[in-house]
Amino acid sequence: MDAIKLTPYAKMFDVEWLLHPESYRYNITIDQLLYGSVDFEKLRHALKAYVSEHVVLNGHIENKKGEASWVKNNRIYLTVSTC
């Protein structure tokens, strides 16, 4: 599925962003600390696969003809860093 109509609840966040587009209050950030031996290529691949399956994690909101929808991004913006 490449587009999902926004629920009335999600529309409130869209209106908030329209009023304050410079805000980052509703961005999704995951910060995880892993201990032990980690295969970062496998981790990166697993996270990319997970994110690619969820339009809300890998998408943006578009307003077309007065209807707001989540639309899937053409690429995944994912960073996996090592300490």
**How far is the C-alpha of 69 from the C-alpha of 48, rounded, in Å?**
22
**What is the structure's pLDDT at 82?**
65
Candidates 61, 68, 58; CA nearest to 21 is: 61
48: CB partners within 8 A, 6+ apart: 76, 78
Q: Provide the whole-model pTM.
A: 0.61
Candidates 78, 48, 69; CA nearest to 1 is: 69
Residue located via tokens 């913006």: 77
Kindly tell me if the per-residue pLDDT of 83 is higher than 80: no
**pLDDT bucket at 19, cuts 50 / 70 / 90:** very high
Q: Where are the domains of the chain?
A: 3-72
Q: What letter does residue 56 receive in the DSSP assignment?
A: T
Kindly tell me if the per-residue pLDDT of 1 is higher than 60: no
**pLDDT tens for residues 36-79?**
888 888 988 898 898 888 888 888 888 888 888 988 888 887 77
Kindly tell me if the per-residue pLDDT of 13 is higher than 80: yes
Mean pLDDT of the region 19-29: 82
